[in-house]
Amino acid sequence: MINPKKETFTRSFSEYRLEDILETIGNDTPVQFSGDQFYFPVQEDRLAEITASAQQTLLIATDKLTDKKRIEDCQVCFQRKVRVYLLLGKPEESEEAIRLLSGHCLIRTGVKQAGSLLMADNRQGLVLSRSLDGELQTTAGLRLVSTQQTDSYHYFCRLFWNQAKQEYLLPNEHRAVKASPFGAISVQNECHDPKLLLKTIQKQWTNSELATLSELRQEKWLGYTLTPFSTTEGQHIINLNNADVASLQTLVKHCTQLACVEHPLSDMVLSTADELLFLPQSTLQPNTAAWVVKLVEAQIGEVKAFLARLWEQAPLRYQEMCLGTAQE
């Protein structure tokens, strides 16, 4: 008698592509937007405009400065006798910039940051969604209005004078930062207080009308777990290349409408109260200073138009039945 051969096997649903649980709607054509104050992706001339307009001071805050054009802009500025202040993260990640600019610009390091700030003479400012690493095709830009410039300037001063760890006054020579001559500098904007920012984002998420997520891995968004976030009825757009199945399954427990794209996104949350937050990548990572901006009415219209176009053109939509089967 021949006994039938028995085999058992298991299969992880992580082997399936995310596309297998999504409905294809159309082609994944990257959405570009260039308004008066919001740009995605930001163009080179927008950054060059800020640095070229500086007459007295240029402030740059970024976790990593490796963009050769921005380094050259700083060189041109100090040659024009413009005072350049650079606030960076780990010095080893901006070695070339420090080598070329130290001794000519006042450089301080040791402040981990999400996003970037460029400001000329405290009268023109631009916030970016990521570091100045030259990857402009994945970077969103927001031109600041007067009140936002004031808030961002105060925040820069706090980080530069109160929180930086090292400074470079001479070429390639650093020393520990001494006590600030200005004392403790306070900031009033809730977006620049980590605890208040988290509460603000949670509130916005709970009441969100539309949100974009540039990255979602290990059930985290912006460096923070999704679990404490309440369910929302809003629409959500995620970058499919920066997500995994487990995270997608977690996300759909919190939202009812999900679309995916395969091109770069910037993080933003538009609440039902018509409030909108511009959120740099990795905003909620521990010990990170984030260049978050709460948009004013003049900017919201542009960004809402961009988000609506992004939703309409998203090529992939979540299929509830298929994902429900995968979870069983």
State pLDDT tens for residues 148-170.
999 999 999 999 999 999 999 99
Q: Which residues, including other chains, have CB under 8 Å from residue 87's CB and lie 6 or more apart?
A: 59, 60, 61, 62, 108, 109, 111, 113, 156, 159, 160, 164
CB 140 within 8 A of CB 279: no
Rounded CA-CA distance 274/73 in Å is 37
| Upper half-sphere CA count for residue 269 (Cβ side, 13 Å) | 24
Quick one: pLDDT at residue 322? 41
pLDDT tens digit sequence for 27-42: 667 788 999 999 999 9
For residue 91, whether the previous peptide bond is cis, meaning omega lies within 30 degrees of 0, is no
Rounded CA-CA distance 328/254 in Å is 18
| 240: DSSP letter | G
> Thinking of the domain 16-31+191-327, which architecture would CATH place it in?
2-Layer Sandwich (3.30)
Rounded CA-CA distance 321/171 in Å is 62
Note the pTM of the prediction, 2 decimals.
Answer: 0.85
Query: What residues pair up with 216 in beta bridges, in sequence order?
Result: 243
pLDDT tens digit sequence for 72-99: 999 999 999 999 999 999 999 999 999 9
3-state secondary structure of 35: coil
Q: Which residues, including other chains, have CB under 8 Å from residue 7's CB and lie 6 or more apart?
A: none
Token digits of residue 193: 């207080």
Q: Which residues, including other chains, have CB under 8 Å from residue 90's CB and lie 6 or more apart?
A: 63, 64, 109, 110, 112
> Thinking of the domain 38-176, which architecture would CATH place it in?
2-Layer Sandwich (3.30)
For residue 10, what pLDDT band results from cuts at 50, 70 and 90?
very low
Q: What is the average per-residue pLDDT within 5-10?
A: 53
CB 259 within 8 A of CB 317: yes
Task: Identify the sign of the CA torsion 90, 91, 95, 100.
Answer: positive
pLDDT tens digit sequence for 223-270: 777 766 655 667 888 888 888 877 777 777 766 678 888 877 778 877
| Identical fold between 16-31+191-327 and 38-176 | yes
Rounded CA-CA distance 53/71 in Å is 16
Task: Return the closest-CA partner of residue 84 out of 33, 121, 112.
Answer: 121
Q: Please report, as a single letter, which amino acid is at residue 258.
A: L
Phi then psi for residue 218, to 5 deg, are 55, 40
pLDDT tens digit sequence for 284-295: 888 899 999 999
Break the chain into its structural domains and give their ranges.
16-31+191-327, 38-176
